[in-house]
Amino acid sequence: MSEAGRVNNEESARVERSWPEVEKWLLVAVLGLEMVMGVLGNCAVLLVKVLCRGQFCCRYWMPLISLTLSDFVFDARLCAEGCSLLIISGSFLAMLTGGQGSPWCEAVSLLKFAFISSSIGSIAVLCVQRLIGPASTGSPLLVVMVTACLSSWVTGVVFGSVPVIYTWIKYDPAEMLCAVFWENSYSDMLIYILCAFSVCIFIPFLLIFVCSLLSASSCSSTFYSDEDLSSVTPLLVASYVLCYTPFVVSELILLGRMDLSPAPDWLRTLSSVMSYLDCGLNPLIYCSHQDFREAGLALLWTNRKPPSEPVLKAITKHDL
């Protein structure tokens, strides 16, 4: 196929997948709500974790901070950084303007994979720390945990860079952002997806699954306390699995199609909306922890009133 014919086919496919007005503005409203939830929620979580850290128990701060930063960056794509500031707002603007251009298109695709990888890596490290217990905060093991968190970011950037280098990136109206498309080689797509999922998704998920089972058993019940902020880990895991299942299913469908045709449009749209939702749900999950919630409310409800007038409570009578 000639270059002109390929461009014309892509343009016609894009027109066919253009959103009706009602669906377009519904998605704009949903993305706007998710962006606000992600930016404000994760910003509030970071403030509470930093300013009120002495008011609640948090032994395993490092993966929780990494997860919150990933969510904040993933939601904030309207600015030049972050999840809530970068990715969701990128989709939000793409819906309003009709697409994304280079080099922003390639940057969004790269960063999305980095944030997904860092999120699941941070949750995996948190599950491992809960299983090991307070010993994981000691110097030798803490270095290992920090390295694991950093590795999840690095591997995400590495695998996110591959499609950019090989120019596999183009705007997908169904996903509402730039995504990876293969047009020529099934073998390249097969190798890339298998390697990326094995390193960035499968290994962390296997750690999460095994550690969650062991932590739920009675033999590990003494290793952690419900008073620690890490007690919200099962909710974080459940939220991540629920929100990223459509993304995994869409990639598996692509993997099973020899003609390189992507998953249905509705599934790709659902995968984007649900992955963005995870960034906004995590702050709500943190607030389910009583001590964390009370620390956040105390930070918001700062008493700035002047001291009240002295009140007469008793009179002592002295005989002359």
**What token pair was written down for 202?**
């499968």
pTM over 0.75: no
**Does residue 132 belong to any structural domain of this protein?**
yes
Query: Which amino acid, 216?
Result: A
Cα–Cα dist 113/115, whole Å: 5
Cα–Cα dist 122/63, whole Å: 5
How confident is the model at residue 12, as a pLDDT?
41
How confident is the model at residue 245, as a pLDDT?
92
**Does residue 313 belong to any structural domain of this protein?**
no
Q: Do 232 and 224 touch, CB atoms closer than 8 A? A: no
Cα–Cα dist 237/286, whole Å: 13
Backbone angles phi, psi at 13, to 5 degrees: -65, -35
How confident is the model at residue 4, as a pLDDT?
41
Cα–Cα dist 177/145, whole Å: 33
**Does residue 242 belong to any structural domain of this protein?**
yes
Q: Do 118 and 153 touch, CB atoms closer than 8 A? A: yes
**Does residue 92 belong to any structural domain of this protein?**
yes
**What token pair was written down for 105?**
């298109």
The full 3-state SS of 67-120, as one line of letters, equals HHHHHHHHHCCCCCCCHHHHHHHHHHHHHHHCCCCCCHHHHHHHHHHHHHHHHH
Cα–Cα dist 7/229, whole Å: 52
Sequence-separated (6 or more) residues with CB below 8 Å from residue 40 = none
**Does residue 311 belong to any structural domain of this protein?**
no
pLDDT in tens, 297-309: 887 776 444 444 5
Cα–Cα dist 95/284, whole Å: 27
Provide the CATH number for the domain around residue 195.
1.20.1070.10
**Does residue 306 belong to any structural domain of this protein?**
no
Residue numbers in the chain where pLDDT is lower than 70: 1-18, 53, 58-85, 136-138, 183, 218-227, 302-320
**Does residue 319 belong to any structural domain of this protein?**
no
How confident is the model at residue 92, as a pLDDT?
82
How confident is the model at residue 270, as a pLDDT?
93
**Does residue 4 belong to any structural domain of this protein?**
no
Sequence-separated (6 or more) residues with CB below 8 Å from residue 197 = 251
How confident is the model at residue 71, as a pLDDT?
54
Which element (helix H / strand E) includes 19?
none
Q: How many domains does the chain have?
A: 1
Sequence-separated (6 or more) residues with CB below 8 Å from residue 204 = 120, 121, 123, 124, 152
Residue-range definition of the domain harbouring residue 129: 19-296
Backbone angles phi, psi at 74, to 5 degrees: -70, -35
How confident is the model at residue 282, as a pLDDT?
80
